[in-house]
Structure 1
Amino acid sequence: MRRPGAVQQKIPCVFLTEVKDEASRKRDGQNFQVVATETVNPVAVESDVYSAIATEKLDGTCCYVTAYRGDAYLWARLDRKPTKQADKRFKKHQHSQKTCKGFTWNVEEDFRPVPESWIPARRVQYESGRPIPDEHGHIPGWVPVEDFNKQYCWHASVVDYSARAALVLRPNSEDEDLLEIACVPLTELMEQTLELIGTNVNGNPYGLGSKKNPLHLLVPHGILRVRNAPVVEYNQLRSWFRESAEGRVEGIVWHCNDGALVKVHRHHLGLKWPDGDTFLNSLPVEVHVDWLPDASPDSRRNLFSALSDLSRRRFSSVRDVQLEA
């Protein structure tokens, strides 16, 4: 088996959580909700979350850049999932016990096959040399994004392997109140995780692109800092999400000094998402995508080419970046 990829199996909530006997707002088929209590998670306290860097949690799909066939490649998140029969047994256990814990898996027989190129995520637990599932019944992992795989066509739209480049949304290096869409060498993103957001991802809460001219972008994790972060206290965080302009985000991920990550989603606090316009769309954005001499000939008709036509232009928000057919 190949070496594990980045990202821990699950980022814990900054608060201790409890289970409510109501259908989950986040996971289909889950007949309970996981909600935050007012008690700060001891794991977060031990990692000194109070001095951690708070960053915006974006609503997209997780990606990873690492080597494949000797080159830097974009990898898509692909969790190894149980077969239908195993999933039925697992959901029956969930329904009767109101928890995912305590279920016994047969890893050899209970899980669907994955591509040979698949690698498990880092910190996935192992038993007898085999990766074992998390509490949701999945084994998190990665698969390389290749041009011919239609399942990952939106991932493929943000990379050009001929030019070894990716399309990234990030803060401008000279103005923290300005975002930029940039063409970045894949080698600069090696061993980083990123969020793919856009027209056809998670219902597109940021309003990017259109059905006719979709727009997708990669955002490196941890790059969008929450500059006026609330104190890590239940009521203050809930008020911040409800009342602050900066609080119009899906959640917060805290990056602690010891390397630990902790998070909170709006749904942990019983709050709706999306709820009106997003904070991401309150910031102007400039396009800095120049034509690439080494790009694939087909890329003249792709997203790189469309954005290069808008290079050096400024828009009031990333939502206003509209591509021409």
Structure 2
Amino acid sequence: MRRLGAVQQKIPCVFITEVQDEPSSKREHQSFKVVATETLNPLAVNADIQSALPTEKVDGTCCYVATHKGVPYLWARLDRKPTKQAEKRFKRYLRSNGSSKEFVWNVDEDFKSVSDFWIPAKEVKHCNGKPYPDGNGHMPGWVPVENGNKQYCWHSRAVNYERGVAIVLRPNAEDPGCLEICLVSLSEILEQTLELIGTNINGNPYGIGSKKNPFHLLVPHGVFQIKDLPPLKHNSLVSWFDSCHEGKVEGIVWHCSDGSLIKLHRHHLGLRWPIPDSYLNTRPVTVSVNVCESEFAARSLSQLSKDTHRFDRLQDIFLDV
């Protein structure tokens, strides 16, 4: 089985992109938008995109499972950001275009402080033994999700460190067309990246849980494979997203044989997201959690009493709450 790449870096688009001077439909208050041209990105061609494994891009917030305090922990995405003064200096450099001198960061002074436990993402380059930002000034990284940290309270709802488990959404092994919510050992997903989705994440595009009973769970990256993707042509992919049932997803992430990742978002094609009845939320789901034995899971699934339940879609689990 092919080992899928982990999300440890900014993922390039499958097409060359261009910036248009129009308000973004993806991010509020952004005065520009990034759209895909019809030209394949050379990075995608060099990574043999034609032989890559296409998977559904799930709309959530990126997480990572790695060791902390000697045990597997969930880590939240936290990018180190430059100070206002350093950001202004960097933007002036970008606007200069013809400047022959390479921009040099002073990492100790130009970037805001982070937790002592913060670690850089694996793809971050180092200079003089210290993590160094990329050409866009980005320094992605991770911080452990500690119990009691209000900033990551929804992350905490998806894991239990005493039992060493996480609530995970994945395809049902016995019925691939069906989804499954289950408890997975954190040691089983060590060094993997996942997407946290749920009631209070990204506006809850999948309609999971409710204000009264918020629910959050983790989706391993690459777990939802796309079977019948059209040729990698701009018009073909627009048509697939717009008219195919399986195309009702936020986007596509291709896992290439060299470990690199390539993506395409609906917004790159001028298509709307979120949308009603997304593909993820039209598939049946089984809940394979014994809530009678798991106080942790019972907090979110208190209305269930048996070991296994089947519902027509994720939203239906909470209709009676």
Given the two structures, how large is their TM-score scaled by the length of structure 2?
0.89
Task: Please name the residue that 1:204 is paired with.
Answer: 204
State the Cα distance separating 1:221 from its structure 2 match: 0.2
**Where do 1:54-65 residues align within 5 Å?**
54-65=54-65
CA–CA distance in 2 between the matches of 1:260 and 1:175? Answer: 29
Task: Please name the residue that 2:3 is paired with.
Answer: none
- SS at 1:252's partner residue? strand
- Superimposed CA distance per residue, residues 252-276 of structure 1 (whole angstroms, 9 cap, x where no aligned partner): 0011122221110111111111122
Task: Please name the residue that 1:309 is paired with.
Answer: 305
- Count residues with an aligned counterpart: 312
CA–CA distance in 2 between the matches of 1:75 and 1:106? Answer: 26
CA–CA distance in 2 between the matches of 1:92 and 1:31? Answer: 19
Task: Please name the residue that 2:274 is paired with.
Answer: 274
Distance of aligned partners of 1:92 and 1:271 in 2 relative to their CA distance in 1, 3 Å threshold? farther
State the Cα distance separating 1:191 from its structure 2 match: 0.7
CA contact (8 A) 2:249 2:279 kept: yes
CA–CA distance in 2 between the matches of 1:94 and 1:31? Answer: 18
Distance of aligned partners of 1:28 and 1:126 in 2 relative to their CA distance in 1, 3 Å threshold? farther
- Superimposed CA distance per residue, residues 276-302 of structure 1 (whole angstroms, 9 cap, x where no aligned partner): 221101100010112486x6x7x3862
Distance of aligned partners of 1:309 and 1:78 in 2 relative to their CA distance in 1, 3 Å threshold? farther
- Superimposed CA distance per residue, residues 115-157 of structure 1 (whole angstroms, 9 cap, x where no aligned partner): 0111000111222322222354331101111111110000000
Task: Please name the residue that 1:265 is paired with.
Answer: 265
Residue identity opposite 2:182 in structure 1: A
Task: Please name the residue that 1:170 is paired with.
Answer: 170
Task: Please say which of residues 127-136 and 309-318 is displaced more in the overlay.
Answer: 127-136
State the Cα distance separating 1:319 from its structure 2 match: 1.5
CA contact (8 A) 1:213 1:324 kept: no
The answer as to 2:41 corresponding to 1:41 is: yes
- Superimposed CA distance per residue, residues 10-34 of structure 1 (whole angstroms, 9 cap, x where no aligned partner): 1111111122223333345654322
Distance of aligned partners of 1:160 and 1:179 in 2 relative to their CA distance in 1, 3 Å threshold? same
CA–CA distance in 2 between the matches of 1:212 and 1:50? Answer: 46
CA contact (8 A) 2:289 2:297 kept: no
Distance of aligned partners of 1:307 and 1:122 in 2 relative to their CA distance in 1, 3 Å threshold? farther
- SS at 2:318's partner residue? coil
Residue identity opposite 2:220 in structure 1: P
Task: Please say which of residues 127-136 and 40-49 is displaced more in the overlay.
Answer: 127-136
Q: Structure 1: give runs of 5+ residues left out of the alignment.
A: 1-5
CA contact (8 A) 2:18 2:34 kept: yes
Task: Please name the residue that 2:214 is paired with.
Answer: 214
Aligned CA-pair RMSD: 2.3
